[in-house]
Amino acid sequence: MKKYILALIILTLTFLEKTKAENNKFAFSLIPETILAKANAVIRENNVSVNVFASGNAECTYNLAITIIDEAGEKYGYFVEPYDKFSSISDIKAEILDKEGKRIRKIKSDEIFDFSAITSFSIYDDNRVKVINPKVGNYPYTVVYEFKKKIKNSFIYPGWNLYRGFNIAVQNSSYKLTLEPAAKVKFKQNNKLIVTPKTSDINGVKTFLWEINNLPAIEKEPLSLGIQELSPTLMVAPENFNMDGYEGSNLSWISLGNWIYTLGKNKSNLPDVTKDYIRKITADAKSDYEKAKILYEYLQNKVRYVSIQLGIGGFQPFPAETVDRLSYGDCKALTNYMKSLLEVVGINSYYCVVKAGDDATPIDKDFVCSQFNHVFLMLPLNSDTLYLECTSQQVPFGYNGTFTDDRDILVIDSLGSYIKRTNVYNKDKNKIVNNFVFNISSDLKSEVFQTSKYIGVASEDFRYIKELKPEKQREIFLKRVGLRNVKISNINYIESRDIIPVITEKVQFSVPQIAQVSNKSVLIPINQVTNNEELPRLSERKSQIYIPRSQMQIDTIKYNFPQNIIVDRIPNSNNFSTEFGAYSLEFVHEKQSNAIVIIRTVEWNKGMYSPEKYQDLLKHYRKIKELDRQIMMLSLN
């Protein structure tokens, strides 16, 4: 009997311990130490289940738990889930747990907010988003979410992206794809997702299950790719789809392009009065280039951009005559309108879809589906191909810039759509040319005249500065220049709106003293106008080094000295180059006018470099800094 009672007690205690462990499975102490390093948050559980029916509709179930470790990880605790006419969200459950995994409280229904997904520039919009912002005072804590989502007539299904951002670890994550009989779906893992799915086939119902555990956080490193490119991902899409009666296919880029072409078919009609005006304003143009430029500037002056995301209208352009009448539209409508204007004067152009954004993840050319978020126009002119950004009233004709440069796009052609690479801006089209003249007085005060030209890509950061108030322009300049106690007397900006735009910055300022004086010795650093970038030391670089664009900077610095200052020694000219770029430094001593001219050139090469070369890159940066820190030695007479 004693043995029986003892055994019963042991079984009871074991059951209670197991029950407690299950109830507290999200206790912070249960996170493996191996994945905590550099993590601001940990995905404790992320289970996604997608059930696709023969109709193409899908039902998705989500179970998500995230432990927030510190303030930097708070953004990962928000619930943000979009939906639209083709999807719906239901059965949202949410709760907050403490460090021990015990419930603090449930999220109430009135804490689940429902917003328009596009709050600005939007007139018509049925894209919405459910949002929960859990408010917790003490770290660490865990948020747990459950919800369901129904999808109908979609040309893409929710995929699996393991990382939500940098510095977030993954403890447990799974993705289950269930295909009902006759459901035709394709999927693709990227090269970071090295997991073989478990599969089953029961009475024609196919199931694929991917599981992964204990992934450490990916730390943000300088000059690295974005998190989407570093994260293991799975893309899922139907082979064929039907949206609002428009049948499409993801079997080839041609078939997907045909669907997009069909959405815009017969939408190029314009009123006769508009056609007559278009012919009139282009009558004296001597080339198609001139005609296109006139019409692009007409577009910029006439219309403004608004977002229109209503039903199939989220993918389909408004008719050209509607844009002509209303003088507004979204990227699809404005691009179609510009295409229609060009047709009036006999110029052919192509509607293109693109994943836009300076930091946009490249599309996967080997997996056909809509990976795009923007539309613009391709204009082939003889041997040149221009791209027209139709949503901007500031971008010059033919310049698409970092928003859509150097990436694969889908060109929509009735004869067969195709993938094409957009233009790449080389060093001549991403260049800064600085010219500084220091007029130095006998007491070492200096009046400085600066003229800087920001060419191509380099002009983009200055386009918005050009529009700011003078006091704000001065504030930004003072933060950028390497000199102290600067007093600005004049600053202005001029833009040349060419295919490769140029913004010229002219600044006149004074500096009370530009040199260190000891007795009669005068020491002047050769480079006081450029703030050198520095890279942090890393014990072990993990990701590839990525320099997204080639670039060049040429600084010409002239020091005009008074006759009471004698030039004793200037550094020798120098230069070096590595696979990352090149640097040169040239000194010219104009003895007759008692002036020194310094010409400094820095170039960077676009490219992807292995993590092991980070130390070489650090040496490259240090060499630039070392040469920039050299001193000119002068003396007072």
Q: Tell me: the pLDDT tens digits for 11-47? A: 544 444 444 445 589 999 999 999 999 999 999 999 9
Per the rule left: phi > 0, alpha: psi between -120 and 50, beta: everything else, 416 is left
The pLDDT of residue 443 is 87
Least confident of 17-26, 163-172, 477-486, 557-566: 17-26
Q: Are the C-beta atoms of residues 403 and 358 closer than 8 Å to each other?
A: yes
pLDDT band (50, 70, 90) for residue 123 = very low
Is residue 175 pLDDT above 80, yes or no? yes
Distances (CA, A) of 243 to 54, 116, 148, 240: 15, 22, 21, 10
Query: Region 444-456: what's the mean pLDDT?
Result: 95
Written as six digits, the tokens of 6 are: 């003892």
Nearest to 484 by CA among 441, 517, 448, 519: 448
Bridge partners of 142, per DSSP, are 67, 97
The HSE-up count of residue 217 (CA atoms within 13 Å, CB side) is 22
Q: Are the C-beta atoms of residues 546 and 608 closer than 8 Å to each other?
A: yes
Q: What is the 3-state secondary structure (H, E, C) of 274-294?
A: HHHHHHHHCCCCCCHHHHHHH
Architecture of domain 25-238: Sandwich (2.60)
The pLDDT of residue 315 is 80
The pLDDT of residue 23 is 59
The pLDDT of residue 531 is 73
Counting every residue written for the chain, the total comes to 637
Strand (E) or helix (H) holding 76: none
Is residue 448 pLDDT above 90, yes or no? yes
One-letter identity of residue 6: L
Least confident of 12-16, 77-81, 114-118, 421-425: 12-16
| In the chain, where the domains are located | 25-238, 246-421, 427-636
The pLDDT of residue 118 is 57
Nearest to 169 by CA among 25, 32, 65, 35: 35
- Percent of the chain whose pLDDT exceeds 90: 79
The pLDDT of residue 154 is 78
DSSP helix/strand/coil, 620? helix
The pLDDT of residue 79 is 93
pLDDT band (50, 70, 90) for residue 204 = very high
The pLDDT of residue 402 is 95
DSSP state of 317: P
Residue with tokens 């696979």: 579
Q: Which CATH number, 2.60.120.1130, 3.40.35.10, 3.30.300.30, 3.90.100.10, labels domain 427-636?
A: 2.60.120.1130
pLDDT band (50, 70, 90) for residue 117 = low
Tens-digit pLDDT profile for residues 593-626: 999 999 999 999 999 999 999 999 999 999 999 9
Architecture of domain 246-421: Roll (3.10)
pLDDT band (50, 70, 90) for residue 125 = low
Alpha-carbon span 377 to 400, nearest angstrom: 10
Residue with tokens 């404790």: 44
Average model confidence (pLDDT) across the chain: 91
Written as six digits, the tokens of 92 are: 């949202």
DSSP helix/strand/coil, 143? strand
Least confident of 82-86, 176-180, 355-359, 454-458: 82-86
Strand (E) or helix (H) holding 338: helix 331-344
Name the phi and psi angles at 285, rounded to 5. -65, 140
- Percent of the chain whose pLDDT exceeds 70: 94
Nearest to 24 by CA among 106, 105, 100: 100
Between CA 616 and CA 621, with CA 618 as vertex, the angle to 5 degrees is: 115
The pLDDT of residue 384 is 87
Same topology for domains 25-238 and 246-421, yes or no? no
Tens-digit pLDDT profile for residues 278-328: 999 999 999 999 999 999 999 999 998 876 554 444 688 889 999 999 998
Alpha-carbon span 478 to 471, nearest angstrom: 11
Strand (E) or helix (H) holding 235: strand 233-238
Residue with tokens 């260190």: 516
The pLDDT of residue 121 is 44
**570 Cα distance to chain centroid:** 44
Name the phi and psi angles at 545, rounded to 5. -85, 130
Alpha-carbon span 236 to 255, nearest angstrom: 17
